[in-house]
Amino acid sequence: MHLPRQLGPLHDLPDTPEAYDAALAGAVEEALARLTPQGSLEHPDCVDDIGDTSLGVTSLLALAWQRGKDPRLPEAVRRSLAFHLRQRVYTDDNPGYPNLRARGTGLPYARYVLEAGAHPIGDWPSTVWALLQSVDLLDLAEGLVGDEQRAELLRVARGYWRWLTEATFFNPQEAGNQAIGCVVGGLMLARHLPAPEGDETRERALRLYEQEIRAHRVRDRGALLPPEHGGAYDNNYGPISLSFLAQAHRVSGEEVFAEDGDALARYIDARLPGGGFDNGGPRYSEQHSGFESVLGLRYFSARIGSDLGRYRGDTRWGRHAVRADGGIDGHFAWMLVWQIQDGTRWHRTPSTAPARHQLRAGGVSVAFDDRMTPSLLEAAGTYYLPAAVNRQHGFGPVTDGFLFCRPMGETRVRDAAADGLTAKLVSKPVVGRDHVLRHVRSLYVTDGTSLWMTVAVERLPGTPYLLAGLPYAADDGERVRRTAEGGVTAAGELRLTHPESDGGDQFDARAERTQEEAAFALAADPRGYGNPDLGWSHLAGSTALEAEPAPGAPDGLHVFAVRYGPAGPFAPVLAADGSGLTVRTESFIAVIGEPAGDAHGEPELSLTAV
């Protein structure tokens, strides 16, 4: 089976003016055929996330007219705008909406579901989206919309802003992408308001960003990130937040948006493997955005000098939102407008600067979590997740059911490179169930095709093995398919184990089940609202690669050695002297320093190609 949403890298989508004109032309023909006598451009199957969609298609028509002056479009824009102003602007409080700070204000808002009291919790983001569609249309209205209709649209947009920032609590879902989107709406609205109101609106938007978003950033993997639905990052919404930061910088020129976008972009770059597959987040563990991410990934790929566009998006949403039948949906249409207006081009080559939480070369990548344990490993087109044993997740030595990967003290990192090889040494103190402190030294070396992992630890009791990952997915052309195997070779005996039970807290990679489905099943709240990362943390066991100790390890040590990638002879030679542990393979000689490190306690590593 293929994963349903992670398709092609987003930078593979043509983004020339001609390609965008073709996308707009297709949207125009579909919209004109759909336009109802009442002026609606909504998809007939749309039920939720509907409050901004007709207006979103209207903004695409307006942009198409500005670029091509199609004489059919002015009347369609005016009719569809009239429909939104007449039928999709609500001023009575939605029954059951829980986040109002003032009742009966009469301020306009957009509904997530049109029926009164039906799922009102989504009204805040729907109103953000309606505000953004409105300000886009205000930007594009010249020559299309009469003064009276434009004035009414401006009045409604001003009301949306006030409802979002006065009548309700700000960012009630703790969703960074929604909150930054609201700030962008205020910044864009301010340009259409007379002084001093425009200046006040701009200042309020900037203040909200500083006080309600930036002050609440969450640290993950060394980066401060806008919180997303209660977590630090979501692999669907995080790149959307990056797009909002790009637009905020474009329209305001405020350096804070560029700085925060750079930080988020470098974080995404470090967690993404070369193939662009990613999973994880507090809402959508494997769902991926499409066109909504393009602006931010492209804008900041140029700023940080790395190929962020390798991110595998949902290319079914490559240009705009669509329904199940492929028909256009105006949801998030402003992102297509903005990416067409922005002249930034993709940066397509990787950054060569070492990153603490990443090892990457050629077709090999290791992304590390906060504990400097691999969170995602890629080699030969296969993606490995941390395996689970006894409710413990990660890569590392296991003995008597205890996984040695959670540091008890400072984790040290040393990078090295030599003649086409790139390496990272991670040294961490770990306390086992026997309360003995041991130093786990993990060496990762790659030539861009294979990945060698060597793990050394003071001798363990019992019958230890290395938990070496859960083979989960593999590249299959432009798709990613589920897998339960990978190309791995070990110096000791290697086995691929599967859970003995099919309980909900066990994940068997052979089953036709995605990590996202399993994670939501273990989450405390319903799918779409629960935290799949937290749910996945309840996983008790999984398919796992288990490697026995390598033969010939020096006295006092257990050493494990595995190689991910093409098959072939693998018989590393291990030796120890006063300078540390020497690892000799068919491709390199590495000397891993003693746990005490150098004069500053930092790990020592030397690397030589053979």
Q: Tell me the per-residue pLDDT of 337-390, one tens digit each, with 9 for 90 and over.
A: 999 999 999 999 999 999 999 999 999 999 999 999 999 999 999 999 999 999
Judged against a pLDDT cut of 90, whether residue 478 lies above it is answered with no
What is the rounded distance in angstroms from the CA atom of residue 51 to the CA atom of residue 31? Answer: 17
Helices (H) and strands (E) in the chain, counts: 13, 29
Q: What are phi and psi of 2, to 5 degrees?
A: -100, 145
Q: For position 493, what pLDDT does the model report?
A: 98
Confidence label for 230 from pLDDT (cuts 50, 70 and 90): confident
CB within 8 Å of 510: residues ≥ 6 apart: 484, 498, 543
Closest CA to 479 of 127, 1, 70, 2: 2
193-206 pLDDT, tens digit each: 999 999 999 999 99
94-151 pLDDT, tens digit each: 999 999 999 999 999 999 999 999 999 999 999 999 999 999 999 999 999 999 999 9
What is the rounded distance in angstroms from the CA atom of residue 413 to the CA atom of residue 39? Answer: 61
Using an 8 Å Cβ cutoff, are 228 and 283 in contact?
Answer: yes
Judged against a pLDDT cut of 90, whether residue 573 lies above it is answered with yes
Q: What CA–CA distances, in Å, run from 310 to 232, 295, 471? A: 21, 14, 21
Q: For position 106, what pLDDT does the model report?
A: 98
Confidence label for 578 from pLDDT (cuts 50, 70 and 90): confident
What is the rounded distance in angstroms from the CA atom of residue 227 to the CA atom of residue 489? Answer: 40
What is the rounded distance in angstroms from the CA atom of residue 334 to the CA atom of residue 136? Answer: 7
Q: For position 206, what pLDDT does the model report?
A: 98
Average pLDDT value for residue range 232-237: 95
Q: Give pTM, 2 decimals.
A: 0.97
Average pLDDT value for residue range 286-296: 96
Using an 8 Å Cβ cutoff, are 299 and 342 in contact?
Answer: yes
Residue 473 identity: A
504-546 pLDDT, tens digit each: 999 999 999 999 999 999 999 998 888 999 999 999 999 999 9
Q: Where are the alpha helices (DSSP H) in 35-87?
A: 53-68, 73-87
Using an 8 Å Cβ cutoff, are 447 and 361 in contact?
Answer: yes
Using an 8 Å Cβ cutoff, are 582 and 575 in contact?
Answer: yes
Kindly report the average pLDDT of the chain as a whole number.
97
Percentage of the chain surpassing pLDDT 90? 97
Closest CA to 363 of 297, 446, 425, 261: 446
Q: For position 579, what pLDDT does the model report?
A: 86
Confidence label for 455 from pLDDT (cuts 50, 70 and 90): very high
